[in-house]
Structure 1
Amino acid sequence: MESFLETFRNLDTSQKILYVFGGAAVTAVSLVAIRILTLKEEKRKDYPRDKVILHQIGRGPFAPSMTPFAVKLETYLRMARIPYQSQGASFNIFLWTIRRHNKKQTWNQGHGRHTEEEIVEMMNKDIQSLSDFVGRKRFLMGDEPSEADCSVFGMLSQTYWQFYGSGYENLIKDRYPNLASYCERMKDAFWPDWDQCITHGGTREATK
């Protein structure tokens, strides 16, 4: 079975960028499929009371998820100190969805109608604007993190840690050191168990 890393590497550069910055529709389709296929299984499980069950795809190779939206939500749950349990689903559904729907969904969204050069230009402008806004601040709004940081961190986590094979693996480290520090700061603040929540490039199972 083709691994997620192989599937991701086989996408062209523009598709990889679109996946990170415009993959909401793809993720939504994936989660709906996961929900349908796991519904019967869920009915047989006894989940703990007074705890959020976070349904998501399996853990990612270098960040806790391959979708920024799951990282955003899980970071928020940790920030708000809401008890939760992560419930992963099969990667196979997600792989199939990316292969079949990524180009169509991003085209329908509008992102996929641009050339690779245009997409890269938009990405660079977005990251530059964010870098300018953060400046020398520790977090978006100052010295303390806010809910907005969860959203931004979710998006940056993909570019900073998981943009392998795109030609932009070191984009943030090389051009935006303040955002690199920001990512590390958010990771240290809310993900002390980061290494347990990733698969280390698919070489081991995540234990959390």
Structure 2
Amino acid sequence: MLEAVLKGCSWLRENCEAVKGTMVLLVAGAALVKFYVNRQNRRKRWAAVGKDIVIVHGLPKGHRTPNPSPLTLTLETYLRLAKIPYQMDYEEPFGPMGKSPWITLNGEEMGDSQMIIKMLGRRFGNDFSAKLTPEQQGAARAFHMMVTEYLALVFRMWRWVENRGWTMLQEKPCAPKKPLKGQKICKRTCIQGIGRHSPEEIHCIIERNLTAISLYLGDKAFLMGSDPCEVDCALFGSLTHIMWNYPGSPYETIIKVKYPNLKEYVLRVKERLWPDWDQCLRSPK
């Protein structure tokens, strides 16, 4: 018996690396199987919610805004405007395109919030921009691209580069800071061009953009007139985050002090489409 044990110990010493490698493969395989099973179970659960109910997958809710992502808040606001039933899911925030948010609808998955809104508008007959004049449609498209592509990139730059992620750390206390996030955004903004400017120059550029929005809005209830449309959802998603998720930023002062019509606009959309705003926030621990 002792001899067999000694032989076994000797074999383990001689094949230690092979045994370690096998154990690593077994553990990794088990983890992959668990990941796949959980993923499939989630999809079965989403498919069982009912026909034509949109499942929005995004980052966990915040305690200042219902979601720390402007794009997720934009999509939620559109769903409320279009009166399309939806549910939020926070288990799998990044979808088939590696982006957040994304949706599941009747078992089908789709990413990119702009494409999602366009598809939902056709499917449910809620294309609000179709009621605009050709001139208004052109202006709405221009403002939509300014907000979702240009301003959103610069706002992320302030969040992750200038502010170094501290506001996100306050929003999600358990989340680690992400220096690599700032590096990626720096690289992206340098390629785009805006990142080659100093912070002061960037602030002036963004102020001119916010000035343009304020001037176009004027004393109208919504950007294109008396009724909200898709561009209002995008604008609300961005301005809301400046008001509540960017404390201490120069953009917060511009909206709250310099252009009060932008602040009043945000509060107006919030009152109309988010009467349950406080109930949608993450409770502070």
TM-score (norm 1): 0.70
Structure 2 matches for 1:1-208, cutoff 5 A?
Answer: 41-45=38-42, 46-47=45-46, 48-50=49-51, 51-89=53-91, 96=178, 98-99=181-182, 101-199=184-282, 203-204=284-285
Q: CA deviation at 1:118?
A: 1.6
Indicate conservation of the 8 Å contact 2:64/2:245, yes or no.
Answer: yes
Task: Give CA deviations for 1:9-60 in whole Å, capped at 9, x if unaligned.
Answer: xxxxxxxxxxxxxxxxxxxxxxxxxxxxx87634212121221110111112
Shift of 1:93: 8.4
1:142-166 CA distance string (max 9 Å, x none): 1111111111111111112211132
Deviation at 1:99, TM superposition (A): 4.8
Q: 1:105 to 1:186 in 2, by over 3 A?
A: same
CA distance in 1, matches of 2:239, 2:55: 24
In 2 relative to 1, CA 198–139 (structure 1 residues): closer, same or farther, beyond 3 Å?
A: same
**SS where residue 158 of structure 1 aligns?**
helix
In the alignment, the residues of structure 1 paired with residue 176 and residue 216 of structure 2 have an alpha-carbon distance, to the nearest angstrom, of 34
CA distance 1:121–1:135, change in 2 (3 Å): same
Deviating more after overlay: 50-59 vs 160-169? 160-169
- Structure-2 change in CA distance of 1:141 and 1:167 (3 Å): closer
- In structure 1, what is the Cα distance between the partners aligned to 2:208 and 2:72? 24
SS of the residue corresponding to residue 57 of structure 1 reads coil
Conserved? CA contact 1:140–1:149, under 8 Å: yes
Ranked by relative contact order (alpha carbons within 8 Å, sequence separation 6 or more), the top structure is 1
- 2:252 alignment partner, SS class: coil
The superposition leaves residues 104-130 of structure 1 with CA deviations (integer Å, 9 ceiling, x where unpaired) of: 333333332221122101110011000
Q: Is the alpha carbon distance of 1:77 and 1:170 closer, same or farther for their aligned partners in structure 2, counting shifts above 3 Å?
A: same
Letter in 1 for 2:38: E
Q: Which runs of 5+ in 2 are unaligned?
A: 1-34, 94-171
> For the Cα contact (< 8 Å) 1:64–1:198, is it kept in 2?
yes
Q: Which has the larger radius of gyration?
A: 2
Deviation larger for 161-170 or 95-104: 95-104
Residue of structure 2 equivalent to 1:10 = none
Identity %: 38
Residues 121 and 80 (structure 1), Cα distance of their counterparts in 2 relative to 1, 3 Å cut:
same
User: Could you say what secondary structure the match of 1:170 adopts?
Assistant: helix
Alpha carbons 1:57, 1:94 under 8 Å: kept: no
Tell me: CA distance 1:95–1:145, structure 2 relative to 1, closer, same or farther (3 Å): farther
Query: Residues 172 and 180 of structure 1 are in contact (CA less than 8 Å); yes or no, is this contact kept in structure 2?
Result: yes
Structure 1: gaps spanning 5 or more residues:
1-37
RMSD: 2.5
- Asked if structure 1 preserves the Cα contact closer than 8 Å seen for 2:60 and 2:67, the reply is yes
Q: Secondary structure at the match of 2:62?
A: coil
